[in-house]
Amino acid sequence: MNEVERYEFDRVGFLSVPGLLTEEQVTCLAAAIDALEEEAAERADRPPRRMSPTGRLEYHHNAERGYYVNGAREPGNTMIIEDFFNADPTFDLLVDHPPTMAYINAIVQERPTINNSEIRIRYPGNQTGTHMGGQVSVKHAYSFNRTGINCMMVRMIYFVHDVGPEDGPFSVVPATHKSNVPVPYEGRNPDEEPGMTGLPARAGDGILFTENLRHGGLTNLSDQTRKTVHIGYGPFWMKSQNIATMDEEQYILPQTFARFSPGQRRLFRAWPDMVEPAPVGEGGMG
Ligand X SMILES: O=C(O)CCC(=O)C(=O)O
Q: Does 227 bind ligand X (CB under 6 A)?
A: no
Sole window of 4-12, 94-102, 103-111, 215-223 interacting with ligand X (rule: CB under 6 A): 215-223
Nearest residue (CB) to ligand X, 212 versus 256: 212
Query: What contacts 24+ positions apart, CB below 8 Å, involve 43-51?
Result: 43/69, 44/69, 44/70, 44/71, 44/72, 44/73, 44/79, 45/72, 50/244
Distance (Å, whole) CA 163 – CA 109: 32
Q: Which of residues 168-187 bind ligand X (CB under 6 A)?
A: 170
Q: Does 214 bind ligand X (CB under 6 A)?
A: no
Residue 155 CB, nearest approach to ligand X (Å) = 5
Task: List C-alpha distances in Å: 216 to 145, 173, 201, 283.
Answer: 28, 9, 15, 55
Q: Which of residues 123-152 bind ligand X (CB under 6 A)?
A: 128
Indicate the residue whose CB is closest to ligand X: 217
Residue 134 CB, nearest approach to ligand X (Å) = 15
Task: List C-alpha distances in Å: 89 to 86, 94, 224.
Answer: 7, 10, 26
Q: Does 217 bind ligand X (CB under 6 A)?
A: yes
Size of the site for ligand X (CB under 6 A): 10
Q: Which of 230, 240, 245, 260 binds ligand X (CB under 6 A)?
A: 230
242, 145 contact by CB (below 8 A): no
**What does the binding site for ligand X look like in residue numbers (CB under 6 A)?**
120, 122, 128, 155, 170, 215-217, 228, 230
